[in-house]
Amino acid sequence: MGESLSPWTPSCNGSIRVELDGQSTNSDSGALLLREALDNSGVIEALEDNLVDPRHPLRIRHSLAGQLRTLVLQRAMGWIDLGDTDTLRRDPLWQLACSDARGTTPLAQDRPSRATLSRLLTCPGRDDNIDVLHEGLLRLVVWRLTSLNHGERPEQLMLDIDGLPIEVHGHQGGSAFHGLYGARIDSPLVASLAETGDMVGGLLREGNAGPAEHADTWIPPLARRLNESTGASVRVRIDAGFTDNDTLEALEDRDIEYLGRLRSHTGLQKLTALP
């Protein structure tokens, strides 16, 4: 016997009715649920209000919010290649899920093309937009944390810091050959919450950067911003590559608690071997 659930209407468009009856379904209908979550978080609108958009106002065809929404929803649903944008361009469900328009009008509105979204990717990376992007990430993280905790903000958070070597092809700016990986790479740092796995920050670095390079000047401000956004006491968890004097002193100078793995140390091994 098929299960029947009550129809649901997303707040972004009152002309849509979503229902599951065990018969005909669209495999991408979850995009409407994700659209609802994005709208409730307010992160897309916050980014649109604060990002510097270099386009000429009279030549804008697709809003910044619509493009950001399209990119986020497609990747969240597994359509990670920009080429997929052209495949989905005239799909009615995707037109409704990503559009700024209301009522029945979204079906008459074209979606951004692959080329349009490709140009969009350069916008958040501008120097005058990096801080805005970080604030958007923190806003989304805070919204999700409070949602998971019945509206209450957490008292403590653990911030995980990791290196993320990314192999590149060709001679992209900032990349370099790294002997350890035997490839040309970018070497960014990423920060995520241990409690949820959400990414809350990133730092671009040269491909041949050392494991802890710039960590001492990047981690403390990030921990402070996370504390200011959530009100939680923030602790930092780092791998052995980050337990150098500069990083540890920077954390201690700002009274930031941390947990780090030490490299193999002969003196410590002898002490642990004592009866």
Q: Are 138 and 254 members of one domain?
A: yes
Sheet order of strands, 156-163 included: 199-203, 189-193, 156-163, 233-238, 258-260
- Residue 224 domain-assigned (yes or no): yes
Q: Are 162 and 257 members of one domain?
A: yes
Interior/surface letters 88-122, b for 16+ CB within 10 angstroms, e for the rest: beeeebbbbbbbeeeeeebeeeebbeeebbeebee
Q: Are 110 and 136 members of one domain?
A: no
- Residue 173 domain-assigned (yes or no): yes
Number of domains in the chain: 2
Out of 120, 145, 169, a domain closes at: 120
> pTM, whole model, 2 decimals?
0.70
Q: Which pLDDT tens digit goes with each residue over 102-154?
A: 765 556 667 888 888 888 888 887 888 888 888 888 888 888 888 887 878 88
Q: Are 148 and 219 members of one domain?
A: yes
Q: Are 150 and 252 members of one domain?
A: yes
* Rounded average pLDDT over 177-185: 81
Q: Are 143 and 116 members of one domain?
A: no
Residue 252 or residue 143, greater confidence: 252
Q: State the Cα–Cα distance between residues 260 and 4, nearest whole angstrom.
A: 51
Q: Are 114 and 240 members of one domain?
A: no
Q: Which pLDDT tens digit goes with each residue over 82-116?
A: 888 888 888 888 888 888 877 655 566 678 888 88
- Residue 16 domain-assigned (yes or no): no
Q: Which pLDDT tens digit goes with each residue over 8-36?
A: 788 887 777 777 666 656 678 888 889 99
Out of 120, 140, 163, a domain closes at: 120
- Res 204: pLDDT: 85
Q: Are 138 and 115 members of one domain?
A: no
Q: Are 264 and 178 members of one domain?
A: yes
Q: Are 37 and 146 members of one domain?
A: no
- Residue 10 domain-assigned (yes or no): no
Quick one: pLDDT band at residue 1, thresholds 50, 70, 90?
A: very low
The CATH number that applies at residue 220 is: 3.30.420
Q: Are 137 and 259 members of one domain?
A: yes
Domain span at 75: 30-120
- Residue 202 domain-assigned (yes or no): yes
Q: State the Cα–Cα distance between residues 68 and 48, nearest whole angstrom.
A: 9
Out of 100, 120, 140, a domain closes at: 120
- Residue 262 domain-assigned (yes or no): yes
Q: Are 135 and 112 members of one domain?
A: no
Interior/surface letters 17-39, b for 16+ CB within 10 angstroms, e for the rest: ebeeeeeeeeebeebbeebbebe
